[in-house]
Homo-oligomer: A and B are copies of this chain.
Amino acid sequence: MLKVHAQSREELQASLKAGLGEGLVLTDAAEMVRYCRDWHGDVSSSAVAVIRPRNVEDVAATVRLCAELGLAIVPQGGNTGLVLGGVPDAPDHQIVLSLERMNAIRAIDTDDFSAVVEAGCILSEFKDAVQEKGMFFPLSLGAQGSCRIGGNVSTNAGGINVLRYGMTRELVLGLEVVLADGTIWNGLSTLRKDNRGIDLKQLFIGAEGTLGIITAVSVKLYPNPEHVETALLGLNSLDDAIKLYRRARRECCDLMSAFEFMPPVAFTLAMEAIPDLKMPIAGDYAAYVLMEISGSGLVDTSDLMSRFLEGVMEDGLVLDGVIASSRAQAQSLWMFREGMNEGQALRGAHMRTDISVPLSRLAEFVAEAEAELAKDLPECLAVSYGHVGDGNVHLNVLPPNGSTREERDHYIYKAKVIVNAVLDRYAGSISAEHGIGRLKRGDFESRLGPVQREMIERLKAAFDPELRMNPGCQLALQAAS
Contact = CB atoms under 8 A, between A and B. Distances in A.
A166 B195 CA distance: 12
Nearest to A198: B207
A202 interface: yes
A75 to B, nearest CB: 15
B183 A198 contact: no
Most buried by B among A311, A358, A387: A358
A302 to B, nearest CB: 12
B191 A357 contact: yes
A86 to B, nearest CB: 15
Contact of A251 (B197, B246, B296): B296
B183 A391 contact: no
B459 A429 contact: no
Contacts of A434: 195
Nearest to A162: B193
Interface residues of A, number: 93
A194 interface: yes
A347 interface: no
Contact of A462 (B111, B392, B462): B462
Given A158-B193, A170-B170, 7 more contacts: A162-B193, A191-B358, A192-B390, A197-B436, A222-B254, A223-B253, A251-B299
A463 B462 CA distance: 10
Interface of A: 109, 111-114, 155-156, 158, 162, 164, 166-167, 169-170, 179, 183-187, 189-200, 202-203, 205-208, 210-211, 222-223, 225, 246, 249-255, 295-300, 304, 307-308, 311, 356-360, 387, 390-392, 428-436, 444, 449, 451-452, 454-456, 458-459, 461-463, 474-475
Given A196-B431, A251-B297, A253-B295, A459 B456 contact: no
Given A192-B359, A429-B196, A462-B462, A298 B185 contact: no
A444 B249 CA distance: 41
Contact of A458 (B190, B298, B432, B463): B463
A165 to B, nearest CB: 9
In the A-B complex, the 7 residue pairs with the smallest Cβ-Cβ separation, listed nearest first, are A251-B297, A202-B202, A111-B360, A462-B462, A458-B462, A193-B390, A223-B250
Contacts of A189: 429
A252 B358 contact: no
A388 to B, nearest CB: 10
A391 B193 CA distance: 7
B358 A112 contact: yes
